[in-house]
Amino acid sequence: MTGSRIAAIIGKDLREFSRNRFFVFITLLVLVAYVAVFWFLPDSVDETVRIGVSNSVLSTDVGGVTESGTAGFALEIYASEEELQTAVEEGRDGIVAGIAFPPDFFESAAAGETPTVRLLIPAGLPPEIQLLLEGAVSEIAFGVAGVAPPVDPITEAVVLGTDRAGNQISLREQMLPMILIMVLMVETFALSSLIAVEVQQRTVVAILATPVRIVDFLAAKGIFGVGLALSEVVLLGLLIGAFAVNAPAVFVILLLGAVLVTGFGMIAGSYGRDFMGTLLVSMLFMIPLMIPAFGALFPGSSPTWVKVLPTYGLVEALIDVTADGESWSQIAPSLLLLAAWGLAAFAAGAFILKRRVATL
């Protein structure tokens, strides 16, 4: 294996890739689109339910609910029921529903009467919010009657894990690994197309008729694939701020991710008979490889079958560093898993491509 031969093949691939100016232009355009979409996403999480209340009956702490509300629950006071209804209908001040207390609510309740409270519910209100409203009204009534709650889950709750109240991971932060992985996946297809063309047009046979050996060819394809995927994903990462925390760790994760997708690109390129065939084989790889990234958007731990997918370590390591700011030692298990999958995919890709070339 000689560096000059490998460099010559890489140079040829690079010229071939950049010759199609339209392709290069659109690749850059898609990068810009990804960046625009990323910065368009909300960077904070609103974890407060805002409720409108008519007639300011809540001037004192009643049943744990006050005018200022409580964590996760805010109140907007309106002078009249009509004003409240209009606000609910228009979604004014961010309120999702309203509670219309009668003006004599306290007097009636204190006198042992049963006052009537109206809940103003817009269409599509999640049922759990209605449960919250009914519970809040009930607790206010209990508070007026002086009936203490038998248990107090509001103030005596035990928080397990890192308490993210007020500091939730935003949709933008959640999407960061997914956007990076999507770009890596797309590069799987770009590399597989280049290899497929080489195989279909049998230019590889011409190349191997020169002093270039198969190992030079495989090394060149591997380096070009990793370089292509890595340069694009690093550029995107810089533009969306992926390197803000522990940049060396993010770079290593993306490098291993590029090795992983290059392996799959070589496999897809070896099997694709034409453009559409290559696209289909690439899609067969891309869809399962995207699942861990989609899974990261959902709360909770991933199912076991997701954990065995090759990109699981990539997604975990990226999230742990970019969202949770974890250190090298903390991400080591995910990194090792990713490295193992990357090497396995790359070795499999090189082996399959070598066999494919041997059949030409």
Which parts of 19-48 interact with other proteins (CB under 8 A)? Answer: 20, 22-23, 26-27, 29-30, 33, 45, 47-48
Q: How many residues bind other proteins (CB under 8 A)?
A: 87
Nearer to other proteins, 248 or 303 (CB): 303
Binders in 150-179 for other proteins, by CB under 8 A = 150-154, 156-166, 168-169
Query: Binding of other proteins at residue 118 (CB under 8 A)?
Result: yes
C-alpha 62/C-alpha 137 separation (Å) is 10
Binders in 241-300 for other proteins, by CB under 8 A = 274-277, 279-280, 283, 287, 294, 297-300
Query: Binding of other proteins at residue 75 (CB under 8 A)?
Result: no
143 strand-pairing partners? none
Listed in sequence order, the residues at least 6 apart from 132 whose beta carbon sits closer than 8 Å to its beta carbon are 49, 73
User: CB of residue 41 vs other proteins: minimum separation in angstroms?
Assistant: 12
Judged by CB under 8 A, the stretch of 105-113, 222-230, 236-244, 256-264 that binds other proteins is 105-113
- CA-nearest of 47, 41, 30 to 241 is 41
Q: Which of 6, 53, 62, 137 binds other proteins (CB under 8 A)?
A: 137
Amino acid at 76: E
Nearer to other proteins, 59 or 130 (CB): 130
Query: Binding of other proteins at residue 70 (CB under 8 A)?
Result: yes
Binders in 195-224 for other proteins, by CB under 8 A = none
3 state SS of 49:
strand
C-alpha 131/C-alpha 268 separation (Å) is 52
C-alpha 309/C-alpha 228 separation (Å) is 23
Output phi, psi for 103, to 5 deg: -60, -30
Query: Binding of other proteins at residue 58 (CB under 8 A)?
Result: no
- CA-nearest of 57, 66, 145 to 109 is 145
